[in-house]
Structure 1
Amino acid sequence: MNQNLSLYPLTLYYDGACPLCMAEMRNLMLRNTAGRLRFVDMAPADFVAPAGAKREELARLLHGQAADGRWLRGVDTFVAMYEAVGVSWVAQALGGRWVRPLAERGYPWLARNRHRIPRWLAHVVFGTALRRAARQVAAAGECAQGACRRDGS
Protein backbone atom coordinates (compact mmCIF):
# COMPACT_ATOMS: atom_id res chain seq x y z
CA MET A 1 0.00 0.00 0.00
CA ASN A 2 2.92 2.36 0.63
CA GLN A 3 3.57 2.63 -3.11
CA ASN A 4 -0.03 3.58 -3.93
CA LEU A 5 0.06 7.36 -4.15
CA SER A 6 -3.59 7.51 -5.29
CA LEU A 7 -4.53 6.91 -1.64
CA TYR A 8 -3.32 10.29 -0.46
CA PRO A 9 -4.57 12.51 0.85
CA LEU A 10 -6.57 9.93 2.77
CA THR A 11 -9.63 11.26 4.59
CA LEU A 12 -10.23 9.50 7.91
CA TYR A 13 -13.73 9.33 9.38
CA TYR A 14 -13.43 8.83 13.14
CA ASP A 15 -15.53 8.94 16.30
CA GLY A 16 -14.51 12.04 18.24
CA ALA A 17 -16.67 10.94 21.20
CA CYS A 18 -14.45 7.90 21.74
CA PRO A 19 -11.42 8.54 24.02
CA LEU A 20 -9.33 5.81 22.40
CA CYS A 21 -10.18 7.05 18.90
CA MET A 22 -9.35 10.65 19.84
CA ALA A 23 -6.02 9.67 21.38
CA GLU A 24 -5.07 7.83 18.20
CA MET A 25 -6.21 10.68 15.96
CA ARG A 26 -4.25 13.25 18.03
CA ASN A 27 -1.18 11.07 17.63
CA LEU A 28 -1.71 10.96 13.86
CA MET A 29 -2.47 14.69 13.64
CA LEU A 30 0.85 15.50 15.28
CA ARG A 31 2.69 13.21 12.88
CA ASN A 32 0.81 14.39 9.77
CA THR A 33 3.50 16.91 8.80
CA ALA A 34 3.27 16.04 5.09
CA GLY A 35 -0.51 16.56 5.03
CA ARG A 36 -1.21 13.08 3.70
CA LEU A 37 -4.17 12.64 6.05
CA ARG A 38 -7.38 14.60 6.51
CA PHE A 39 -9.54 14.15 9.59
CA VAL A 40 -13.33 14.22 9.83
CA ASP A 41 -14.99 13.84 13.23
CA MET A 42 -18.34 12.09 12.89
CA ALA A 43 -19.44 12.76 16.49
CA PRO A 44 -21.18 16.12 15.96
CA ALA A 45 -24.93 15.80 15.45
CA ASP A 46 -24.70 17.85 12.25
CA PHE A 47 -22.20 15.46 10.60
CA VAL A 48 -23.33 14.56 7.09
CA ALA A 49 -21.86 11.43 5.54
CA PRO A 50 -20.24 11.88 2.14
CA ALA A 51 -22.11 10.79 -0.97
CA GLY A 52 -22.38 7.03 -1.22
CA ALA A 53 -21.70 6.43 2.48
CA LYS A 54 -23.96 5.94 5.48
CA ARG A 55 -23.18 7.40 8.88
CA GLU A 56 -24.05 4.11 10.62
CA GLU A 57 -21.60 2.16 8.47
CA LEU A 58 -18.85 4.75 8.89
CA ALA A 59 -19.36 4.60 12.66
CA ARG A 60 -19.12 0.81 12.79
CA LEU A 61 -15.42 0.64 11.82
CA LEU A 62 -12.75 3.20 11.02
CA HIS A 63 -13.08 4.26 7.38
CA GLY A 64 -10.81 6.18 5.07
CA GLN A 65 -11.61 7.61 1.67
CA ALA A 66 -8.67 7.67 -0.71
CA ALA A 67 -7.91 10.58 -3.00
CA ASP A 68 -9.16 8.51 -5.94
CA GLY A 69 -12.52 7.93 -4.18
CA ARG A 70 -11.95 4.35 -3.03
CA TRP A 71 -13.00 3.40 0.48
CA LEU A 72 -10.79 1.60 2.96
CA ARG A 73 -12.16 0.15 6.17
CA GLY A 74 -10.84 -1.45 9.30
CA VAL A 75 -7.31 -2.82 9.19
CA ASP A 76 -6.69 -1.52 5.65
CA THR A 77 -7.34 1.99 6.94
CA PHE A 78 -4.94 1.55 9.86
CA VAL A 79 -2.19 0.30 7.55
CA ALA A 80 -2.64 3.24 5.15
CA MET A 81 -2.84 5.91 7.86
CA TYR A 82 0.28 4.77 9.70
CA GLU A 83 2.16 4.48 6.41
CA ALA A 84 1.02 8.03 5.58
CA VAL A 85 2.62 9.49 8.70
CA GLY A 86 5.84 7.51 8.43
CA VAL A 87 5.21 5.01 11.22
CA SER A 88 5.95 2.18 8.83
CA TRP A 89 6.67 -0.40 11.51
CA VAL A 90 3.04 -0.20 12.70
CA ALA A 91 1.76 -0.38 9.11
CA GLN A 92 4.00 -3.36 8.36
CA ALA A 93 3.03 -5.15 11.57
CA LEU A 94 -0.70 -4.65 11.00
CA GLY A 95 -0.39 -5.72 7.38
CA GLY A 96 1.85 -8.65 8.21
CA ARG A 97 1.16 -12.31 7.73
CA TRP A 98 0.69 -13.09 11.44
CA VAL A 99 -0.78 -9.91 12.88
CA ARG A 100 -3.27 -9.01 10.15
CA PRO A 101 -5.59 -12.02 10.67
CA LEU A 102 -5.64 -11.31 14.41
CA ALA A 103 -6.28 -7.60 13.84
CA GLU A 104 -9.07 -8.35 11.37
CA ARG A 105 -10.78 -10.56 13.94
CA GLY A 106 -10.12 -8.39 16.98
CA TYR A 107 -10.71 -4.91 15.62
CA PRO A 108 -14.47 -5.28 14.98
CA TRP A 109 -14.90 -6.34 18.63
CA LEU A 110 -12.78 -3.40 19.80
CA ALA A 111 -14.75 -1.01 17.57
CA ARG A 112 -18.08 -2.26 18.97
CA ASN A 113 -16.86 -1.81 22.53
CA ARG A 114 -14.79 1.36 22.10
CA HIS A 115 -17.04 3.53 24.28
CA ARG A 116 -16.47 1.18 27.21
CA ILE A 117 -12.73 1.80 27.18
CA PRO A 118 -11.86 4.29 29.92
CA ARG A 119 -10.05 7.51 29.12
CA TRP A 120 -7.12 6.56 31.39
CA LEU A 121 -6.51 3.40 29.36
CA ALA A 122 -6.50 5.40 26.12
CA HIS A 123 -3.93 7.68 27.74
CA VAL A 124 -1.78 4.68 28.72
CA VAL A 125 -1.98 3.22 25.21
CA PHE A 126 -1.20 6.46 23.35
CA GLY A 127 0.47 8.65 25.98
CA THR A 128 4.03 7.68 25.08
CA ALA A 129 3.31 7.90 21.36
CA LEU A 130 1.78 11.36 21.80
CA ARG A 131 4.78 12.61 23.78
CA ARG A 132 7.19 11.21 21.19
CA ALA A 133 5.23 12.76 18.32
CA ALA A 134 5.13 16.13 20.10
CA ARG A 135 8.92 16.03 20.64
CA GLN A 136 9.47 15.18 16.97
CA VAL A 137 7.25 18.03 15.83
CA ALA A 138 9.04 20.45 18.18
CA ALA A 139 12.45 19.25 16.98
CA ALA A 140 11.40 19.63 13.35
CA GLY A 141 10.27 23.19 14.09
CA GLU A 142 13.62 23.98 15.69
CA CYS A 143 15.45 22.54 12.67
CA ALA A 144 13.33 24.67 10.36
CA GLN A 145 14.58 27.68 12.33
CA GLY A 146 18.22 26.54 12.08
CA ALA A 147 18.65 25.19 15.61
CA CYS A 148 18.77 21.43 15.08
CA ARG A 149 19.91 19.20 17.91
CA ARG A 150 22.17 16.35 16.96
CA ASP A 151 22.02 14.43 20.24
CA GLY A 152 18.33 13.50 19.83
CA SER A 153 17.25 15.48 22.89
Structure 2
Amino acid sequence: MTITHHKPTQKDDHRFTLLYDGECPLCRREVNWFCRRAPDAIHAVDISLSDFDSNTFGLNEDDVHRELHGIKPDGGVTVGMDSVREAYRVIGLGYMLSFTAWWPFRPVSDWMYRRFAANRLKIGSWFGREDCSTNTCKTSSTPPEG
Protein backbone atom coordinates (compact mmCIF):
# COMPACT_ATOMS: atom_id res chain seq x y z
CA MET A 1 0.00 0.00 0.00
CA THR A 2 1.36 3.44 -0.85
CA ILE A 3 0.81 6.70 0.94
CA THR A 4 0.30 9.62 -1.38
CA HIS A 5 1.54 13.08 -0.48
CA HIS A 6 -0.07 15.87 -2.42
CA LYS A 7 1.56 19.18 -3.24
CA PRO A 8 0.21 22.00 -1.07
CA THR A 9 -1.33 23.73 -4.08
CA GLN A 10 -3.50 20.80 -5.11
CA LYS A 11 -7.15 20.62 -4.15
CA ASP A 12 -9.00 17.35 -4.11
CA ASP A 13 -12.73 17.54 -4.79
CA HIS A 14 -13.71 14.03 -3.73
CA ARG A 15 -11.81 13.49 -0.48
CA PHE A 16 -11.51 15.13 2.92
CA THR A 17 -8.49 17.45 2.75
CA LEU A 18 -6.56 17.60 6.01
CA LEU A 19 -4.12 20.48 6.55
CA TYR A 20 -1.64 19.18 9.13
CA ASP A 21 1.66 20.32 10.64
CA GLY A 22 4.38 18.00 9.37
CA GLU A 23 6.80 19.39 11.95
CA CYS A 24 4.64 17.93 14.73
CA PRO A 25 5.76 14.32 15.27
CA LEU A 26 2.43 13.18 16.75
CA CYS A 27 0.42 14.95 14.05
CA ARG A 28 2.57 13.43 11.32
CA ARG A 29 2.26 9.95 12.83
CA GLU A 30 -1.54 10.24 13.03
CA VAL A 31 -1.84 11.47 9.42
CA ASN A 32 0.44 8.67 8.21
CA TRP A 33 -1.83 6.21 10.01
CA PHE A 34 -4.95 7.77 8.44
CA CYS A 35 -3.38 7.49 4.98
CA ARG A 36 -2.33 3.87 5.51
CA ARG A 37 -5.75 2.90 6.88
CA ALA A 38 -7.79 4.59 4.14
CA PRO A 39 -5.56 6.00 1.37
CA ASP A 40 -8.49 7.09 -0.78
CA ALA A 41 -10.31 8.91 2.03
CA ILE A 42 -7.90 11.69 2.99
CA HIS A 43 -5.91 14.22 0.97
CA ALA A 44 -3.11 15.17 3.39
CA VAL A 45 -1.39 18.55 2.97
CA ASP A 46 1.64 19.46 5.08
CA ILE A 47 1.40 23.12 6.09
CA SER A 48 5.05 23.18 7.21
CA LEU A 49 6.34 22.92 3.64
CA SER A 50 7.78 26.13 2.24
CA ASP A 51 5.44 26.17 -0.77
CA PHE A 52 2.25 25.82 1.30
CA ASP A 53 -0.15 28.72 0.71
CA SER A 54 -3.26 28.88 2.88
CA ASN A 55 -4.88 31.18 0.31
CA THR A 56 -5.14 28.17 -2.00
CA PHE A 57 -7.80 26.92 0.39
CA GLY A 58 -9.26 30.34 1.19
CA LEU A 59 -7.93 30.20 4.75
CA ASN A 60 -5.92 32.52 7.00
CA GLU A 61 -2.27 31.49 7.45
CA ASP A 62 -2.19 32.10 11.22
CA ASP A 63 -5.43 30.18 11.78
CA VAL A 64 -4.18 27.19 9.78
CA HIS A 65 -0.97 27.07 11.84
CA ARG A 66 -2.88 27.40 15.13
CA GLU A 67 -5.23 24.41 14.72
CA LEU A 68 -5.84 21.51 12.38
CA HIS A 69 -8.10 22.42 9.46
CA GLY A 70 -10.05 20.18 7.13
CA ILE A 71 -11.98 20.81 3.95
CA LYS A 72 -14.89 18.52 3.17
CA PRO A 73 -15.65 17.55 -0.44
CA ASP A 74 -18.62 19.95 -0.37
CA GLY A 75 -16.28 22.82 0.59
CA GLY A 76 -17.25 22.94 4.26
CA VAL A 77 -14.35 23.72 6.59
CA THR A 78 -13.69 21.97 9.90
CA VAL A 79 -11.36 23.35 12.56
CA GLY A 80 -9.61 21.77 15.53
CA MET A 81 -11.25 18.78 17.16
CA ASP A 82 -13.99 18.83 14.51
CA SER A 83 -11.27 18.08 11.94
CA VAL A 84 -10.04 15.15 14.03
CA ARG A 85 -13.59 13.81 14.35
CA GLU A 86 -14.15 14.17 10.59
CA ALA A 87 -10.86 12.44 9.77
CA TYR A 88 -11.83 9.48 11.94
CA ARG A 89 -15.28 9.44 10.34
CA VAL A 90 -13.98 9.35 6.76
CA ILE A 91 -11.58 6.50 7.50
CA GLY A 92 -14.46 4.48 8.95
CA LEU A 93 -13.70 4.94 12.65
CA GLY A 94 -16.03 7.82 13.50
CA TYR A 95 -17.67 5.76 16.22
CA MET A 96 -14.43 5.93 18.22
CA LEU A 97 -14.70 9.70 18.70
CA SER A 98 -18.42 10.32 18.20
CA PHE A 99 -18.99 10.73 21.94
CA THR A 100 -16.59 13.71 21.93
CA ALA A 101 -19.18 15.69 19.96
CA TRP A 102 -21.81 15.32 22.69
CA TRP A 103 -22.37 17.28 25.87
CA PRO A 104 -20.56 17.20 28.33
CA PHE A 105 -17.63 15.67 26.43
CA ARG A 106 -17.49 18.21 23.59
CA PRO A 107 -16.30 21.26 25.56
CA VAL A 108 -13.75 19.12 27.39
CA SER A 109 -12.38 17.41 24.27
CA ASP A 110 -12.32 20.69 22.33
CA TRP A 111 -10.44 22.39 25.18
CA MET A 112 -7.98 19.48 25.42
CA TYR A 113 -7.38 19.61 21.66
CA ARG A 114 -6.69 23.37 21.77
CA ARG A 115 -4.15 22.84 24.59
CA PHE A 116 -2.49 20.07 22.55
CA ALA A 117 -2.43 22.18 19.37
CA ALA A 118 -0.85 25.13 21.17
CA ASN A 119 1.89 22.88 22.57
CA ARG A 120 2.17 20.18 19.89
CA LEU A 121 5.86 20.70 19.12
CA LYS A 122 6.87 20.68 22.78
CA ILE A 123 4.71 17.60 23.45
CA GLY A 124 6.37 15.85 20.50
CA SER A 125 9.75 16.41 22.16
CA TRP A 126 8.60 14.38 25.17
CA PHE A 127 8.52 11.31 22.95
CA GLY A 128 12.19 11.47 22.07
CA ARG A 129 11.85 13.99 19.27
CA GLU A 130 13.78 17.22 18.87
CA ASP A 131 12.40 20.15 20.87
CA CYS A 132 10.82 22.42 18.27
CA SER A 133 9.59 25.10 20.65
CA THR A 134 11.14 27.79 18.44
CA ASN A 135 8.90 26.65 15.54
CA THR A 136 11.95 26.51 13.25
CA CYS A 137 13.21 22.94 13.50
CA LYS A 138 12.76 20.13 11.02
CA THR A 139 12.31 16.56 12.17
CA SER A 140 13.99 13.59 10.55
CA SER A 141 10.71 12.01 9.44
CA THR A 142 9.14 12.96 6.15
CA PRO A 143 5.50 13.66 5.27
CA PRO A 144 3.45 10.94 3.58
CA GLU A 145 4.90 10.13 0.16
CA GLY A 146 4.06 7.79 -2.67
Normalising by structure 2, report the TM-score.
Answer: 0.70
Residue type matched to 1:73 in 2?
Answer: V
Partner of 1:61: 67
Change (3 A) 1:30 1:122: farther
Partner of 2:144: none
Q: What is the number of residues matched between the two proteins?
A: 116
SS at match of 2:73: coil
Partner of 1:84: 90
Partner of 1:38: 43
State the Cα deviation string for residues 78-107 of structure 1 (Å, max 9, x = none).
Answer: 111101111133231322333221111111
Question: Once structures 1 and 2 are overlaid, which stretch shifts more, 98-107 or 35-44?
Answer: 98-107
- Indicate whether 1:115 and 2:121 are aligned: yes
Change (3 A) 1:122 1:80: farther
State the Cα deviation string for residues 89-140 of structure 1 (Å, max 9, x = none).
Answer: 32313223332211111111110100001356399xxxxxxxxxxxxxxxxx
- Measure the CA separation in 2 of the matches of 1:78 and 1:119: 21
State the Cα deviation string for residues 49-103 of structure 1 (Å, max 9, x = none).
Answer: 1242122211110000111111110121111110111113323132233322111
Preserved contact between residue 8 and residue 37 of structure 1 (Cα < 8 Å): no
Instruction: Point out the structure with the larger helix share.
Output: 1
State the Cα deviation string for residues 11-47 of structure 1 (Å, max 9, x = none).
Answer: 00000010010111111111114x1211000111121
Aligned counterparts, 1:22-37, within 5 A: 22-33=28-39, 35-37=40-42
SS at match of 1:108: helix
Cα RMSD over matched residues? 2.2
- Indicate whether 1:13 and 2:19 are aligned: yes
- Measure the CA separation in 2 of the matches of 1:96 and 1:32: 26
Residue type matched to 1:75 in 2?
Answer: M
Preserved contact between residue 10 and residue 65 of structure 1 (Cα < 8 Å): yes
Preserved contact between residue 63 and residue 77 of structure 1 (Cα < 8 Å): yes
**Gaps (5+ residues) in structure 2?**
1-12, 130-146
- Measure the CA separation in 1 of the matches of 2:113 and 2:67: 8
**Gaps (5+ residues) in structure 1?**
1-6, 124-153
Partner of 1:150: none
Residue type matched to 1:107 in 2?
Answer: Y
